[in-house]
Structure 1
C-alpha cells in the first residue's frame, strides 16, 4: 500500500479520528456524506392491506421515482443504486429492471444487500461508504420488502454444521423463539411488553392524526386487485384505541416456548413497504444548490448469540458511541426497531435511555416491519422528527435475525 493510500485509509478509519466528539462531527467538510432526499411509501398489512396487490418490482420502481422527484436531481448523477431486501425471490433482477423503468440510466448499476432486518440501513451504509472512500459522489439507497409475496420456503442446515455447533443449530430457529429467550433470560414480563406495545400504537396514532407521517410518506398509485388502480397514502396497521389491558387478552403466539409472553399484539406486524434516501458528497450538494437534510457519520454492527439476537442494539449502540466519541446524553432521538416488545424493553432499559427520546412516533408494533425496508424507514422517520424539533443528533438501531 502506498503512503498516500495509507494516509487516506487512516483518515477514513473511525478508530483513527483524533479529537472524536460531537463538536468535531458538526464541523462541515466538503467530503462529508450528506442526505439530500428522503421518502417512504405507506406501510401496509401484508396479504390484506393497501399494498397486497403490489409486486416487489413495482414497489421498488415507485420508491426510486419518488426519491428522484423529491430530490429534483438529474438521474444521471446517480452512480450506484443499492437496495436492501431479505426474502423476495430473484430480487437482483427486479431491482435492476425497476431502476431502469424509473428513469435511472443504464450506466448506474444496482446492488442487492441482505443483512436481514437491517438491510435497508445497510443499503444506506453501503452508499455512504462508497462516498467516504472516494469511489462515487452520489448514490441512491432504499430498503423494500413485499412480505405478501414471500415464498416461505423451508430450509435446513447440513448435518455437519449442526453437529459442530449449537449456535449453528440455533440459526435455524424462528425469530419468535429468540423473543421468548430474551423474555425468559432477562425476566421481561408480559405486562411490560404489552405496555410498550400499547405505547407504540398510541404514539403512532397521535403522529398520524397530527399529520406527522404525511411529511415522510409519498402516496403511490398501485394495482387494486380488480384490474384497476388506487392511490395508497397512509399506513394501515395502526390501532388508535390499543391499550395494555386489551393486549393482555391476546393469547401467546408461541405457547411451545417458555415464558410464552410474545403475542400478535406485542410484536412487529407483517407488512409491505419501502423507504429510502439519496446521498451525496457535500461538495456536490453545494454545487447543485441542494440543502443537506442530514450528515451521515458512522455505523457499527455487533454479533452475539443467535438465540438472543434481539438484544443486539444494546451492544451496537455503545459500540457506535465509543467509535464516534458522542455521549449518550448528546443524542436527541433514538429509533430502535420494535421487532418484538421483549427485545425493545430490554434494550431501552439496559441502555438507560429516556423513553421520551425513543420511538417518539411509535414503531414496528404499530407501523409494521417490512424486513428489508425497516432500516431505511427508521432513518426517514427520525430525520423528519429532528427537523420538527430543531434537534441535531439521531441514532438508529435494530436487532438482526441470527
Structure 2
C-alpha cells in the first residue's frame, strides 16, 4: 500500500479577468485563454521536463460550444504541451477550478503521478450561464422541492435573497460589503499586488471600414482585471434596483460580475521537486466539498470550511488569508458571520463583486491568488472557498513552504 505523500505547487498564474460580453476578452476563446495560462505556468519552471506532465485537469462550469469537446485536452494541445500529456475537464460549477486542483493534488498524494497541471477556464461572453440549449428533466417540475435541486434553474439571485432573509443580512450591509470589495481591489492594483499572479494577455481588436471594406486590427496588452470601479460609492450602490425580487435586497451591484478568464497551477511530488531542482511555492493541505439545500446554495462554505479545517488539523483562526468567492454579498456576509471569520482576512484584495467570477475558472484563479499572497505577505496558511450552484460548498487549504 502506497503512503500518502505531499503535493506541492511550483507554478501558479492566471489571466486578467474581463467583463463578459463587452469586456476585453469578449472575442477571445476560452481554450485560447487556457492555453495562455498553461504556457505561462510552464514558463515559470524552466527546469521541469514537459514530458513528465501526467495530465491536465481543467475546471469548466458550462463545458459546451467554444469550451466543449474536452477543453482541457484542447488547451493542452494549443499550449504546445507534449502529445503525451492527457487532459480531462471537470465540472463542479463555481468550484470546478478548485476541484481541479484537488484532483491533481490527489493523483500525486496517492502516488499515481509526480507532475500534474490543474486549471480552469470560462468564457461567459461566448457561453451563457445555462448553456446554449438547457434541458431540465420534465419530472422535476412535478415537485417544487425537486425543482429547487437544480439550483441554477431556481435562480441564483433568488437563492441569495433566501440567504439574506434567513441569515438577516440587510441591504445596507450588502452594499457596504460590495463597496469595500471594489476599494480593496483598486488599492491592490495600485500597489501592484496582482503582478506576481497575472499573466498579461495580448488582445486583438478588429474593426471594419464600411466604405473601403478594409479590416483593421489593433492589438493591446491587458494586465489587470477589468471589473473594479474606482468611482463606486455606497450611495450609488444604494440607488440600484433589486433584480431578483421586488422587495428584495440583492442587486447587480452587490452580486458577482459575469466574466471571462483562466488560471493554471503546476503541482508536483517531493520526488519531482528533487529530480528537477524545483522550488515549491506552497503545499496543498486539504480539501472538502459538502452539499446544502439548493435554495440556499450560498451558505455552502459554512459546511465545507469546517470539514477542510478538520482534515488539515487546523482551526479557522489558523488561516491567515481567505479567498471567499463573492457570488453575492448576502451569502458572503452570511458565511463570515455564521463561522465567525475574521473579516480582515477575507478577500484582502477584493473579491468577485469587483474582480469578476468566470465560473469554472474562479477556483484556479483564486488558488493562484492565495499561493502568491502567502509568499508576498510571509503568511502560513491560506484558504479558497466558495458556494456552488445546486447547493454545494467547497474549500481548499494551502500552506506556504
Q: Same fold (TM over 0.5)?
A: yes
Equivalent pair of 2:59/2:121 in contact (CA under 8 Å): yes
Displacement after TM superposition at 1:101 (Å): 2.4
> Unaligned 5+ residue runs, structure 2?
208-216, 391-401
2:204 matched residue in structure 1: 223
Secondary structure of 1:397's partner?
strand
User: Given the alignment, which residue of 272, 278, 300 partners 1:290?
Assistant: 278
Shift of 1:228: 4.5
Instruction: Indicate the residue corresponding to 2:345 in structure 1.
Output: 357
Partner in structure 2 of residue 17 of structure 1: none
- Of the three residues 159, 168, 175, the one matched with 2:138 is 159
1:270-329 C-alpha deviation (Å, 9 max, x unpaired)? 111011100000221122111100000110001010000000111110111122211221
Q: Give 2:156's match in structure 1, choosing from 172, 175, 192.
A: 175
SS in 1 for 2:255: coil
List aligned pairs for 1:121-270, cutoff 5 A: 121-151=98-128, 152-153=131-132, 155-163=134-142, 166-171=145-150, 172-226=153-207, 227-256=217-246, 259-270=247-258
Segment drifting more, 384-393 vs 339-348: 384-393
* Alignment coverage as a number of residue pairs: 374
Deviations 1:153-191 (A, max 9, x none): 353433333436714444121111111111112211000
Report the TM-score, using the length of structure 2 for normalisation: 0.89
Q: Please, which of 290, 302, 305 is the counterpart of residue 314 of structure 1?
A: 302
1:97 equivalent in alignment to 2:74: yes
* 166-175 or 104-113, which deviates more: 166-175
Q: Output the CA distance in 1 between the equivalents of 2:311 and 2:347.
A: 23
Q: In structure 1, which of residues 108, 116, 134 is the aligned counterpart of residue 85 of structure 2?
A: 108
Aligned-partner Cα distance in 1 for 2:356–2:249? 19
* Partner residue, 1:33: 7
User: Match of 1:125, SS?
Assistant: helix
Question: How well do the aligned residues superpose, as a CA RMSD in angstroms?
Answer: 1.6
Mapping for residues 28-67 of structure 1, pairs under 5 Å: 31-67=5-41
* SS in structure 2 of the partner of residue 67 of structure 1: helix
Q: Could you say if the C-alpha distance between residues 146 and 159 of structure 1 is closer, same or farther in structure 2, counting changes exceeding 3 Å?
A: closer
Deviations for 1:98-124, whole angstroms, at most 9, x for unmatched residues? Answer: 311212111111000000000000111
* Alpha carbons 2:289, 2:304 under 8 Å: kept: yes
Equivalent of residue 62 in structure 2, options 87, 96, 100: 87
Asked if structure 2 preserves the Cα contact closer than 8 Å seen for 1:35 and 1:277, the reply is: yes
Comparing 294-303 with 157-166, greater Cα deviation is found at 157-166
Deviates most, 298-307 or 63-72: 63-72
Higher strand content, 1 or 2: 2
Matched, 1:118 2:88: no
Residue 24 of structure 1 is matched in structure 2 by none
Following the alignment from structure 2 to structure 1, what is the Cα–Cα distance between the partners of residues 149 and 312? 33
CA distance in 1, matches of 2:62, 2:287: 24
Moved segments of 4+, more than 6 Å: none
Shift of 1:64: 1.2
Give me the whole-angstrom Cα distance separating, in 1, the residues matched to 2:40 and 2:69.
20
Structure 1 residues without counterparts, runs of 5 or longer: 13-30
Which moves more between the two structures, 377-386 or 206-215?
377-386
